[in-house]
Structure 1
């Protein structure tokens, strides 16, 4: 089979796809540019026509991931309307669904150690996806009396942390995946306990 070269097609995207595959297999810091180039069928020198280095390549993986993630979060939020509770729960489930369907993107986004301010485009993409969950939390928090209402950013951060914990421990084939409970059930129960503690389940049940 002839080796693909620099002109085999969209090399930039081919390198991103190769990196995503390697990230899924080895983690975001477990592969080299040479490995990505080999998987894409080009020489290592060709990589530098599109990316300054491995971090630049991972940033592009994360940026594309946030674009997909933002679309999914917005769709989940809108599909749950007009109920603030259903919209909020839907965004939590969307987080889990994204991590399971796009593990390479997820790891580049949340496990590579990248600053969300690494580039202006990445900062905007992160703000978009986070903003959806914060909006869902703000809409739901309006059902709490002002004197007992936590900041919506705190509520969304708590749910984000819960989603991330379920993904890390139970949704990606790690030792904790042997739990007798499905990740979706764990997340739903956890969100339910949290919202009940805030007095929000009864508000929209």
Structure 2
């Protein structure tokens, strides 16, 4: 019987898919290349024809994840009649991506990858940041310049809030600790932040 990776004709991607399954089960640091090879039904030696080590495999997963993530965020940032609606859509898209692509998400944000080792991965990461920064800049355009936060700082705050909601309440069993849906937690948190900047009216 042919090995699965060879049968599919794309052993490299078969290893990526195998590693994604292992990441979802054990986390980005909880598997070995040998386990990835076993899951893909190939010999451990076959792995090294495509990846020098586990970190290189994780980097490939992260690269693929960022490509999907950017597409999702760009699409979301174009949805809505106002800058506020489009900005809020990017937050919801962040949660949706983390839910739909948990293995990619963990490789991107939890594997501790050294971005400087891979220029393409660094470029994609920067591009993802630029999408959120652009949405933040559009939302703060109407503020007086002296009261306008730097778009990079604004987007970093929202990114941190989104990431925190995902980590604590949107993945795994930890979500049981919250009586509120992750989307509601993010929406109310962002709302408090935006009210503080004067970008939306206070609740009556």
TM-score, normalised by the number of residues in structure 1: 0.94
Distance 1:153 1:137 in 2: 8
Native 8 Å contact 2:28 2:110 kept in 1: yes
**Which portions of structure 1, spanning 4 or more consecutive aligned residues, are displaced by more than 2 angstroms?**
115-118, 173-178
Return the alpha-carbon distance in structure 2 between the equivalents of residues 57 and 131 of structure 1: 25
1:10-29 pair list within 5 angstroms: 10-29=10-29
**Distance between the aligned counterparts of 1:58 and 1:147, measured in 2?**
43
How many pairs does the alignment contain?
A: 201
Conserved in 2, the CA contact under 8 Å of 1:117 and 1:123? yes
Q: Does 1:143 align with 2:124?
A: no
Structure 2: give runs of 5+ residues left out of the alignment: none
Equivalent position of 1:172 in the other structure: 171
Deviations 1:60-85 (A, max 9, x none): 000000000000000000113x4111
What per-residue deviation string (whole Å, max 9, x for no partner) do you get for residues 102-147 of structure 1? 0000000000001233311101111111110000001111121111
Tell me, in whole angstroms, the C-alpha distance in 1 between the residues paired with 2:44 and 2:145. 58
Give the SS at the match of 2:172: coil
Three-state SS of the structure 1 residue aligned to 2:165 is helix
Check if 1:70 corresponds to 2:70. yes
Give yes or no for contact 1:24–1:104 (8 Å, CA) kept in 2.
Answer: yes
Report the RMSD for the aligned CA atoms in angstroms: 1.5
Offset, 1:6: 5.5
In the TM superposition, 1:1-205 aligns within 5 A as 2=1, 4=3, 7-8=6-7, 9-80=9-80, 82-202=81-201
C-alpha deviation, 1:7, in angstroms: 2.4
